[in-house]
Amino acid sequence: MIETIHSRTQLLELVNRIGILPFFKNAVPGWSLEEHIAPGLWFTDQEGPWEWKGQMAAEKSCVYSKLVGSGNAWVSLSLFPDLCNYRRDGYDFEGRCEDGLVHYRDRMLMECLLSGAPMLSKDVRRKCGFTKGYDTSLTRLEMQTFIINQNFVYNLDKSGRPYGWGNAQLTTPELWFGEAFLDQTEARSPSESLTHICQCLHQALPEIDADAFRQILK
């Protein structure tokens, strides 16, 4: 059972206990922050989940990116290597390119990002030179775990106060956490990593069948 979340500390504790927590409602009822955040924090002038996502990513306490059903989710540092192992299916990005498994727009986007990471998403979009299909490519690369959010950067008004939704600052897991971070799952196959993730999620949330997690994580 997920308790009501009142603070960033509680949110991080929950992410670490469950392993993966989507931001918004999804195909698995009850498995999201949206359904369990204290109502007064959802839209407020005070700090809330919209600010926490960038803070938690920036402090390297977990991973935040589009990772569940093409939607944003927090993933604990203990489960993210397994998610990478499963989603990448044994490939690094260069290997996928060599085997012809990468859309040309995805490759262009990654090359742009790697030339100057971390970079704001709006700057990557401009540098890539294309706008059509950019969001699709970015989401695909995030779902494949090749790109993650390092932070969210806000515009400032004349008084120096942040406003708006914030622009995603993009990087790669290897650049942000180091190459060795993803080596934790070398002994597991991609399918074994998926099974491990689903078992961890089901153990934390026994009221939800493991197959429900398996279906949405595919």
Distance from C-alpha of 35 to C-alpha of 38, rounded to nearest angstrom: 9
Q: Is residue 123 part of a domain?
A: yes
| Cβ–Cβ under 8 Å, residues 122 and 135 | no
Distance from C-alpha of 160 to C-alpha of 63, rounded to nearest angstrom: 28
pLDDT tens digits along 170-208: 999 999 999 899 998 888 999 999 999 999 999 999 999
Q: Is residue 169 part of a domain?
A: yes
Which comes out higher in pLDDT, residue 86 or 46?
86
| Cβ–Cβ under 8 Å, residues 137 and 117 | no
Counting other chains too, the contacts that 160-165 makes at CB distance below 8 Å and 24 or more residues apart are: 165/50
pLDDT tens digits along 71-82: 999 999 999 999
Q: Is residue 2 part of a domain?
A: no
Distance from C-alpha of 106 to C-alpha of 110, rounded to nearest angstrom: 6
Full residue range of the structural domain in which residue 30 is found: 8-217
- Ranking 34-38, 44-48, 113-117 by mean pLDDT, the lowest is 44-48
Q: Is residue 1 part of a domain?
A: no
Distance from C-alpha of 187 to C-alpha of 39, rounded to nearest angstrom: 43
Distance from C-alpha of 190 to C-alpha of 24, rounded to nearest angstrom: 26
**Is residue 65's pLDDT more than 90?**
yes
Mean of pLDDT values over 94-120: 96
Q: Give the rounded percent of residues in the chain with a pLDDT score beyond 90.
A: 83
pTM for this predicted structure: 0.94
Split at pLDDT 50, 70, 90, the class of 143 is very high
Type of residue numbered 139: T
The domain tally of the chain equals 1
- Ranking 94-98, 112-116, 142-146, 152-156 by mean pLDDT, the lowest is 152-156
pLDDT for position 155: 80
Mean of pLDDT values over 84-103: 96
Asked whether the CA dihedral 167, 177, 197, 103 is positive or negative, the reply is positive
**Is residue 161's pLDDT more than 80?**
no
Q: Rounded to whole angstroms, what are the CA distances from 203 to 21, 86, 110, 115, 123?
A: 14, 19, 36, 41, 41
Distance from C-alpha of 193 to C-alpha of 9, rounded to nearest angstrom: 28
Mean of pLDDT values over 56-75: 97
Split at pLDDT 50, 70, 90, the class of 38 is very high
Q: Is residue 200 part of a domain?
A: yes
pLDDT for position 164: 72
What would the DSSP string read from start to end of 92-128?
A: -HHHHHHTT-S-HHHHHHHHHHHTT-SEEHHHHHHHH
Q: Is residue 3 part of a domain?
A: no
- Residues near 194 by Cβ (< 8 Å), separated by ≥ 6? 82, 86, 214, 217, 218
Q: Is residue 14 part of a domain?
A: yes
User: Which neighbouring-strand residues pair with 37?
Assistant: 5
